[in-house]
Amino acid sequence: MSDNHGVIFEKCCGFRNRSEKLVNKKDTAFGIASGTKLFTGLAVCKLIDENKLALEDKLRDVLLSHDLGEIDRDVMIFHLLTHTSGIGDYIDEEAEDGVEQMQILYTKYPVYLWDRLEYYLPMITPLPPKFKPGERFGYSNAGFVLLGLIVEAVSGQTYQQFVHHKIIGPCELEHTGFYRMDSLPANTAFGYISESRTNIFCMPVLGGADGGLFTCARDLDKLWRSLFSGKILSEDMLEAFLKAQIARDDGDFGKSDYKSYGLGVYRYNREDNLVFYAVGGDFGVSFFTAYFPKQQVVASALGNTEVNTYPLLGELISMYDAI
């Protein structure tokens, strides 16, 4: 946790490698699962900033070379960025049996093959829509996979390369990257699903546009401060990225009146106590990062076990609510 003067609080505990008793350090890289969507939103907005895309562009007009099956023809980039596309999701987090669905999916599509975004399409395109585009907020992993494919189609690079060239490199994020699960670099935390078992058979071998990036707390501090200093997006695009684009009514903390979503970032706003944040959770991954603009505070928690760090974010927000 830090403000514009430096670190306020910093604590490391646990092991990045339990069998060798290698401890987690301040710059250890952790998987952040769906926290990656923050980077995807920024990547797409970067292309809009460069006049290579528009929020109103329809998905089918951009991904002309792909068979998009049952996906509604009216889905726009705006709908994908705001989780309002209504497309069927290969991992439906609104379903009560989401974990069971995931296990069945991994049996049919082995995770060691998930190293390119096209591989996801057969899991997504045959699914019927859940609702009409723009009807409501409905969290969508599939929508962000499609955003990654849009980045690739427009930029001519892989999604991972584009994020590295446009965000990770310019922001000088030294311990951030899309690392293969079977080839993790030094000082990277293994994710643990039990005392001794890692998550290598529970996660795509290479992270994509909806999840799987690795990073550390110090790099997240750099990311937020780069974003708010205008290093990533133009002033107008940053305003649109952060703006409340759609209201949320979900199981998240706080009343629905306070909760909204931008173009790839969560928002909480109660009586001018505004917070922007990203979260992620998966097998052996627990994560959040948040920026409190009024206080210029960045707070992040990264875990490599099944212990959920998310309640801490709610407590931090409540603390600043009380100030």
Give the pLDDT confidence of 76-105 residue by residue, as tens digits: 999 999 999 999 999 888 888 877 888 889
Q: Given this model, what pLDDT does residue 2 score?
A: 94
Residues 223 and 219: their CA atoms lie apart, in Å, by 6
Closest CA to 83 of 129, 42, 134: 134
pLDDT attached to residue 310? 84
Q: Whole-angstrom Cα distance, residue 42 to residue 227?
A: 9
**pLDDT-flagged residues of the chain (< 70):** 254-255, 322-323
Query: How far is 47 from 157, CA to CA, in rounded Å?
Result: 12
CATH topology of domain 2-322: Beta-lactamase (3.40.710)
Give pLDDT, residue 99: 77
Ramachandran angles phi, psi of 258, nearest 5°:
-95, -10
- Give 112-148 pLDDT, tens digit per residue: 999 999 999 999 999 999 999 999 999 999 999 999 9
| Predicted local confidence at residue 254, as pLDDT | 67
pLDDT of residue 323: 62
